[in-house]
Structure 1
Amino acid sequence: MQQEQATAQGTRRAPEPPIHGPEGFEGMRRAGRLTAEALDVLMEATQPGVTTEELDKLAYEFAMDHGAYPASLLYRGYPKSICTSINHVVCHGIPNDKPLREGDIVNLDCCLILDGWHGDSSRMAYVGEVPRKAQRLCEITYEALMRGVAAVKPGGSTNDIGRAIQTYAESERCSVVRDFCGHGLGRIYHDAPTILHYVEASYDVPLKPGQFFTIEPMINLGRPAVKVLGDGWTAVTRDRSLSAQFEHTVAVTETGVEIFTISPKGLHQPINPAA
């Protein structure tokens, strides 16, 4: 959802990230797990012929049934409960009544508010049998996310995350989107620190225990440039190349990192039904 925008030129230093205690960790564990459970439901429902509007309704009903609320709904005017970004859509795709087609890849981005805490996560789903190049992009993007997560530790910095993601993605001849990035969250949807998915020498925030934030790299098969369509939300690759994204909400702990949004069903990585 509406990530902090950041560019390599003129990036502004974020305010001091908040530090959370045990109550925050417990609240985020509950919110993160519920968001992961919602995405499990959406992943299983993503099939050829299903509309993203149907998936959006499913997400809204899941939230209501579990005492939660979709953070994106009416956030800065956004009209839906989730974002559904298909093929060359980088992020913030708005659900509609167009059926998904065999071979599509779609990013399902969901943030639920539970007892005031935000759990934010996204995954790629395969729609039926997906071409190998699309599978490869999704695999690279997931690995880039997990390398970024593994770089989180107290005493490190945000550029450690960006370096891990950028180095791997570019070694696989893919590109890292610069226009959108991860963000701090907790009781606030978008907070400090800003998490860039590439190295930016002029912006580097120390990592300290108790910080909460998302890591959500957007990786393109082609060039990194994107443009936002006339609806003011939908971002697409300028060269029409495929794009993929995965996202976790994490915390810096005393010894490393905790992931709040792990799939209870092990569905974080997409599986091709035809494989």
Structure 2
Amino acid sequence: MSITYKDEAGVAGMRLAGRLASEVLDHLTPLIQPGVTTLQIDQWAAAFMKEQGTTSATIGYQPSGYPPFPGHLCTSINHVICHGIPGDKVLKKGDIVNVDVTVIKDGWYGDTSRMFLIGGDASASIAAKRLCQVTYEAMWKGIVMVKPGVRLGDIGHAIQVFAEGNGYSVVREFCGHGIGQRFHEEPQVLHYGRPGTLEELKPGMTFTIEPMINAGKRDIKEMGDGWTIVTKDRSLSAQWEHTVLVTPTGYEVLTLSDGYPPLPDFAAPASAVAA
């Protein structure tokens, strides 16, 4: 599979799909509270996607060697790194949860995720709040690197240096990915690496940046359901994700919406675009 470069119509399709994916998370934000189950979150998302005219890319998704994924989104709680399956788990005050949404609109895919502190800042531990904030900033450290001529290794290096400099570890087994009219395209976007290595960025490329950062060691463990990935040492893990377009002068974040959290100071005023 080769890298796809989106033309004007493709960019417009990706913008719409990305915004709609983010709006699913806007809709869920006030509903994600202590006492709800991750299955309820999934059901609310499915109903909202129907109203939007989008479909979930994850429900029934089945890469080679995997069982079909049973959720309309992924819900990864506390030490779950990624691919958490919605179920009867009740969220409680102090939990952290990543909600990862991918929608399809008119054949184009929009992919984004956010962290949620259950019960709000007052209920979360200092360690949990710091991990979620550093992970958010690590994603943006990668995003602001994006412009033509930069290489993917530069993005991974920026994320790795920032995360490890704050005392955290970067998961190596999962990465960002190209996206367009397929869920997963080339290139792979590693969240660690060496400057000046890997593919060169060119206008029209669209891909996700989605670092998974652990409070403890980076080692992972796969659970028996064939999907859920957890930290081997059961330390907390956090993840944020955006879909990004390489523009002729820099980047455009395609998965922003009215309800998106404030950007870090170093990324402002990039409400959508930076040169």
TM-score normalised to the size of structure 1? 0.90
Aligned to 1:218, which of 212, 216, 221?
212
Which 5+ residue runs of structure 1 have no aligned equivalent?
1-14, 270-275
Q: Distance in 1 between matches of 2:195 and 2:220?
A: 22
Aligned to 1:196, which of 187, 190, 199?
190
Match in the other structure for 1:180: 174
Farther-moved stretch of structure 1 (15-24 vs 242-251): 15-24
Matched, 1:155 2:160: no
Cα distance 1:96–1:55, how it changes in 2: closer, same or farther (>3 A)? same
Match in the other structure for 1:94: 85
Matched, 1:108 2:94: no
Match in the other structure for 1:56: 42
Match in the other structure for 2:255: 261
Cα distance 1:144–1:45, how it changes in 2: closer, same or farther (>3 A)? same
Secondary structure of 2:29's partner?
helix
Secondary structure of 2:188's partner?
strand
Secondary structure of 1:209's partner?
coil
Higher relative contact order (CA 8 A, sep 6+): 1
Match in the other structure for 2:53: 67
Secondary structure of 1:108's partner?
strand
Deviation at 1:201, TM superposition (A): 7.9
Matched, 1:38 2:36: no
Q: Aligned pairs, how many? A: 255
In the alignment, is the contact (CA less than 8 A) between 1:43 and 1:267 conserved in 2?
Answer: no
For residues 223-249 of structure 1, what are the alpha-carbon distances to aligned partners after superposition, in whole Å with 9 as ceiling and x for unaligned?
Answer: 001011000000000000000000000
In the alignment, is the contact (CA less than 8 A) between 2:243 and 2:253 conserved in 1?
Answer: yes
Matched, 1:132 2:126: yes
Q: Distance in 2 between matches of 1:105 and 1:48?
A: 11
In the alignment, is the contact (CA less than 8 A) between 2:84 and 2:228 conserved in 1?
Answer: yes
Q: Distance in 2 between matches of 1:45 and 1:126?
A: 12
For residues 135-166 of structure 1, what are the alpha-carbon distances to aligned partners after superposition, in whole Å with 9 as ceiling and x for unaligned?
Answer: 00000000000010001110111001101100
Which 5+ residue runs of structure 2 have no aligned equivalent?
63-67, 264-275
TM-score normalised to the size of structure 2? 0.90
In the alignment, is the contact (CA less than 8 A) between 2:60 and 2:71 conserved in 1?
Answer: yes
Match in the other structure for 1:85: 76
Aligned to 1:232, which of 219, 222, 226?
226
For residues 175-212 of structure 1, what are the alpha-carbon distances to aligned partners after superposition, in whole Å with 9 as ceiling and x for unaligned?
Answer: 00001000000101000010000005896011000000
Deviation at 1:266, TM superposition (A): 3.0
In the alignment, is the contact (CA less than 8 A) between 1:262 and 1:268 conserved in 2?
Answer: no
Deviation at 1:268, TM superposition (A): 6.6
Aligned to 2:111, which of 89, 110, 120?
120
